[in-house]
Structure 1
Amino acid sequence: MTTRTPLTRARLATVGAELADEVGFEHVTASEVARRCGVRVASLYSHVRDADDLRALVCLLALDELADRASAAVAGRAGAEALAALAGAYRDYARAHPGRYAAMRHRLDPATAAASAGPRHADLTRAALRGYGLDADGETHAVRLFGGLVHGFVTLELAGAFDHSDPSPEVSWEWSLTALDATLTGWSTR
């Protein structure tokens, strides 16, 4: 006799995350998650409100996973070393889990976002930036600059945008992080 794994929000998040990594976050559907769980679609709606709620579960799982990895990466580091470790954690996660990484951009309602690991990501970035002596506004701009650089680079890299030219993406990655450190080191806050 086969026992079925109970259907829970956590299981739906895991199955949705695995599906996202296999076929892309945009293809995470209630019907495919239900099929993989061996249940009917209607059974999912005892645990999620709708397809958007299912996608939010995947987003929350990814935010949690990456926050744990990023926290471990920056522990005991400061300045350029902390910045590079944090950026590397994001890049490594995106390469290993492209669907989950894409899921982290899913728009959450304000209450869910506030209770998610999203603020932890911002706090980790602020901690990595602390050695640059930025005021509160400058720090906010630097968090956004860091996010834009890392997300933009990783998104282009995952899309294959750097596959057909030299130097290698690794060289450009290192150059970008060095340039970011130089920018933040010389940043004069207003």
Structure 2
Amino acid sequence: MARAGVTTERLTQAAAELADEIGFQNVTVSALARHFGVKPAALYSHVKDLRDLRVRTAALALTELADRAAAALAGRAGKDALVAFANVYRDYAKEHPGRYAATQIELDLGTAAGDAAVRHSQMTRSILRGYELPEPAQTDAVRMLGGMFHGYVSLELSGGFRHHPRDADVSWARTLDALDAVLRNWPPA
């Protein structure tokens, strides 16, 4: 018997929760159909295909992440903003590893998911206002921060730091100190 109340929003939320439980790449329309007690075909009135479901999950995750970052950045500038943003990013990835993985898929600009990704990028740029970086240095810095945050978090989530005696939190704090120093002393072109 089908569960009542399947909507696109509930389906997307369930996909995000399932991604955190079993991994984003393991989320399928069939798995969600089992969750809702319906046949997979019943879900296609809510999502076009698996790609659509994954994009919706990415949009949800990026929106959640951006909302948390916006709250953390309020009234902060410079290193204080950098650390707040970085910690939101890292904490979200640890709390929601499947959703975090969803944020890494390629998204089309001009869509809801693409707009969520742009919002996230704009918040990264807002951190850089405190460092007064002109273009194109600002774009380079956005890419550097994204690469560093994603790289660190990905290594940490995969257990890459588990076998070293130095605490990953200490290394994280030192890395943020180093990023602040680089941003304050950006090399000339």
Q: What is the TM-score normalised by the length of structure 2?
A: 0.95
1:144 matched residue in structure 2: 143
Question: Residues 167 and 111 (structure 1 numbering): CA distance in 2 closer, same or farther, change over 3 Å?
Answer: same
2:173 matched residue in structure 1: 174
Question: Residues 101 and 180 (structure 1 numbering): CA distance in 2 closer, same or farther, change over 3 Å?
Answer: same
1:78-97 matches, cutoff 5 A: 78-97=77-96
**2:107–2:114 CA contact under 8 A, matched in 1:** no
Question: Is residue 76 of structure 2 the alignment partner of residue 77 of structure 1?
Answer: yes
Question: Is residue 31 of structure 2 the alignment partner of residue 32 of structure 1?
Answer: yes
Aligned letter for 2:13? T
What displacement does 1:58 show?
Answer: 0.7
Q: Which digits, 9 at most, give the CA deviation of each residue in 1:6-37, with x for residues without a partner? A: 12211111010011000000001000011101
Moved over 4 A (4+): none
1:120 matched residue in structure 2: 119
Show structure 1 runs of 5+ residues with no match: none
Distance 2:4 2:83 in 1: 40
2:6 matched residue in structure 1: 7
Aligned letter for 1:80? K
Question: Residues 5 and 130 (structure 1 numbering): CA distance in 2 closer, same or farther, change over 3 Å?
Answer: farther
1:132 matched residue in structure 2: 131
**1:135–1:189 CA contact under 8 A, matched in 2:** no
Aligned residues: 189
- More deviation, 92-101/104-113: 104-113
What displacement does 1:46 show?
Answer: 0.6
**1:134–1:189 CA contact under 8 A, matched in 2:** no
Q: Which digits, 9 at most, give the CA deviation of each residue in 1:57-104, with x for residues without a partner? A: 111110010000010111110000100000000000001000000000
Distance 1:144 1:115 in 2: 17
Distance 1:42 1:115 in 2: 27
The two structures, once aligned, show a CA RMSD in angstroms of: 1.6
Distance 2:166 2:119 in 1: 34
1:153 matched residue in structure 2: 152
Q: What is the TM-score normalised by the length of structure 1?
A: 0.95
Show structure 2 runs of 5+ residues with no match: none
Aligned letter for 1:34? A
1:185 matched residue in structure 2: 184
1:16 matched residue in structure 2: 15
Secondary structure in 1 matching 2:111: helix
